[in-house]
Structure 1
Amino acid sequence: MSTQADHGHELVPRPEQTPDALRAAFAVVAPGRLPEMQQSKDEAFAKAVEWQSLSPVRSWVLAWARDIEIARRPELSARHARAQRDLENEDPAVAQQALRELSEVLDEAMKAVRT
């Protein structure tokens, strides 16, 4: 596992982008989502066989690496949770700001796992 100290406190180091490493990290930061992770992995591998392409597997790895990146960094996780909660706000300005914040959080996490 690797980590970058510039993000402050992290619950676990950033895992390698392999199914086993991602699962081990997720078991620590979000164990309740492991069944969802396994189901989406099974679907990705089935699509890979059907399509004769590794792109579904690559997409699965990146999506879960991104979600782990958010969950392992408490500050980023808090921003994500606030944005998710505010998406349903009755005030359109609050909901719009939440959408922008959610996009920024997802972009930040994706950029981190792609480096």
Structure 2
Amino acid sequence: MEQHKEQALAAAIQDGKIGHLQAWLTHWHAQVEIERRPDLSTRHRAALAAVHSTTGKDDPAFRRAMNELAAVEDEAARAVSA
């Protein structure tokens, strides 16, 4: 998370645009929402474990796990933007 913040700050300084920082804050809010909600946190950890237990990107379980990660992150992002 810290590295992502530093990259956003560097990009904002380089471009002179605050949008990079706004994107980072949106991502950070979603991550906090995932940790705050037991349902999302459990799903997120399970999906990460599934990703890491697959044999690679060609493994059908990899795509399912990545889809679940995206679904969790989308749900968290919707929750914090509402």
With normalisation by structure 1, the TM-score equals 0.59
Could you list the runs of 5+ residues in structure 2 that have no partner in the other structure? Answer: none
Could you list the runs of 5+ residues in structure 1 that have no partner in the other structure? Answer: 1-35
Superposed CA deviations along residues 50-96 of structure 1, whole A, max 9, x for unmatched, are: 21111111011011011111011111011001001111324933222
Asked if 1:71 corresponds to 2:21, the answer is no
Q: Aligned pair in 2 of structure 1 residues 54, 94: CA closer, same or farther (>3 Å)?
A: same
**Structure 1 residue aligned with 2:49, among 85, 92, 98?**
85
The share of aligned pairs that are identical, in percent, is 33
- RMSD over aligned CA atoms reads 1.9
> Where does structure 1 differ by over 6 angstroms across 4 or more consecutive aligned residues?
none
Residue in 2 aligned with 1:102? 69
CA distance in 1, matches of 2:23, 2:45: 23
With normalisation by structure 2, the TM-score equals 0.80
Higher relative contact order (CA 8 A, sep 6+): 2
Residue in 2 aligned with 1:47? 11
Whichever structure has more helix as a proportion of its residues is 2
CA distance in 2, matches of 1:100, 1:47: 28
CA distance in 2, matches of 1:97, 1:42: 31
